[in-house]
Amino acid sequence: MSSTLIVNGRVIDPASARDERADVAIAAGVVAAIGHDLPRSPADRVIDAHGCLVCPGLIDPHVHLREPGREEAETIASGTQAAVSGGFTTVVCMPNTTPAIDDDAMVEFIFKQADLGGRCRVFPVGAVSKGRQGEELAEIGLMARAGAVGFSDDGDCVASAALMQRALNYIRPTGRALMQHCQEVTLTRGASMHAGEVATKLGLIGWPRVAEEVVIERDIRLNRSIGCPYHIQHMSSGGSVDIVRRARREGQPVTGEVAPHHLLLTHDLIERGPGEGVESDERGAEGGPAYWTAAKMNPPLRERADIEALLTGVADGTITVLGTDHAPHTAEAKSLEFEQAPFGIIGLETALGLYAKALIDPGVIDWPRLIELMTIEPARLCGLEARGLGRLKLGGPADVTVIDPDLTWTIGPADIVGKSRNTPFLGWEVKGRAIATIVSGVVRLERRESAASGRRT
Ligand SMILES: [Zn+2]
């Protein structure tokens, strides 16, 4: 097995509070040494990380890999290729496949497919209910034993309070989290975008913030006497941040997650459509509203005040997990009429630069904290800390991401390496990109055309 030496970088490992200039030696798939002026001689490969951050491999706790069932949109192989391109060494995939991941055999199928064609580590989340139908509890214990790292009916909310209570009771002994897609269905029937003046103008049924907030309130109340780790996926409403902040202050085992698009985009994008200069046939006819399906997500894009509240939540430690909600859809599916088109956008290739734009550029948090939110925090959420993931530890798995924080790049079609290209971020200029992604000691990505490479010579 090959050995790699990463030299001259700023090594940041939030889990051990390490932040120093150092070299990292990798051999036989593990971190062999971290230190100053390590000898280059035994290494097969040297990566010069001058001007770059060397951190634990990034972990995305919320992706949709579409396999099995919708392989035309994404597969485990293509989705993990996108992950590696974005600097991720581990992805956690949601169970809304066809069939759903709702028993131990399906959990094992995901691990097997990841072994065969995956470019990074893949861990499945199991469904809460059989077939994600929201009626009968799925095989929680069997799935946990098979290696499921959490439980969710994502794509749908666990709507029944009785089922939620049972699920919390059954999941608690596994030590994993119940990850909830918070959407009160009777408040969102027929809705395709945020309830606000844009929806009114476009004649679309609005999706109110309270549809998210009431589920969070209910679940926290149900969980009060149970104490199961409870995780709120893709928070979109500013009001949700207040609820989570209060619960965490009371000591409730509640965590919150936010995705890049909810920190950067607002509902008016649906009306405006893609910016000038972006190659697209999705612009509104003769200056009319675009009804841009690339801006259609679940939960929907909201307003500036929500972004401000979410940013405050990240800054004050209310929101501790970042996830992309990578949701690939074919161009055909996204070209349907707005109300018929599926929800969701891809996120793996672009997340790091977008998080830097949302959180680092305006000074909400710094790089060590951003890395913490993308490594050890999701590792804790999914029980991956015990496997040595999310940190840089001597003898631990050599999952390492090298980030050039000063590399400015424009997101273009060629940067999207997964099967689907449904993103509203084409044409955006961002700063910060993974220039190397190392999974279990194997260099899966190395970008040589980085800004730092100019400085290195
Ligand atoms: Zn969801």
Query: How does pLDDT run across 97-146, given as a tens digit for each residue?
Result: 999 999 999 999 999 999 999 999 999 999 999 999 999 999 999 999 99
Higher pLDDT, 450 or 111: 111
Based on DSSP, count helices (H) and strands (E) in the chain, helices before strands: 15, 17
151 alpha carbon to ligand 1 midpoint, in Å?
Answer: 12
Mean pLDDT confidence for 187-196: 98
Q: Give the pLDDT band (50/70/90) at residue 456.
A: very low
pTM above 0.85, yes or no: yes
Question: Is the confidence at residue 361, as pLDDT, over 80?
Answer: yes
335 alpha carbon to ligand 1 midpoint, in Å?
Answer: 21
For residue 216, give the nearest of 246, 192, 190, 186 by alpha carbon: 246
The Cα 159–Cα 400 span in angstroms is 39
94 alpha carbon to ligand 1 midpoint, in Å?
Answer: 9
The Cα 167–Cα 136 span in angstroms is 10
Question: Is the confidence at residue 457, as pLDDT, over 50?
Answer: no
**Which is catalytic among the residues 325, 399, 404, 415?**
325
376 alpha carbon to ligand 1 midpoint, in Å?
Answer: 22
Surrounding residues of ion ligand 1, Cβ less than 5 A:
154, 181
455 alpha carbon to ligand 1 midpoint, in Å?
Answer: 42
**Percent of the chain surpassing pLDDT 70:** 95
Supply the pLDDT for residue 41: 83
Q: Give the pLDDT band (50/70/90) at residue 150.
A: very high
The Cα 417–Cα 81 span in angstroms is 7
114 Cβ contact list (under 8 Å, min separation 6): 76, 80, 121, 122
The Cα 413–Cα 420 span in angstroms is 10
Q: Give the pLDDT band (50/70/90) at residue 286.
A: low
325 carries an active-site annotation? yes
Whether the CB-CB separation of 418 and 347 falls below 8 Å is answered with no
The Cα 350–Cα 275 span in angstroms is 17
Residue 301: C-alpha distances to residues 149, 162, 264, 411, 450 (Å): 28, 30, 9, 20, 32
122 alpha carbon to ligand 1 midpoint, in Å?
Answer: 18
For residue 302, give the nearest of 334, 341, 346, 259 by alpha carbon: 259
233 alpha carbon to ligand 1 midpoint, in Å?
Answer: 6
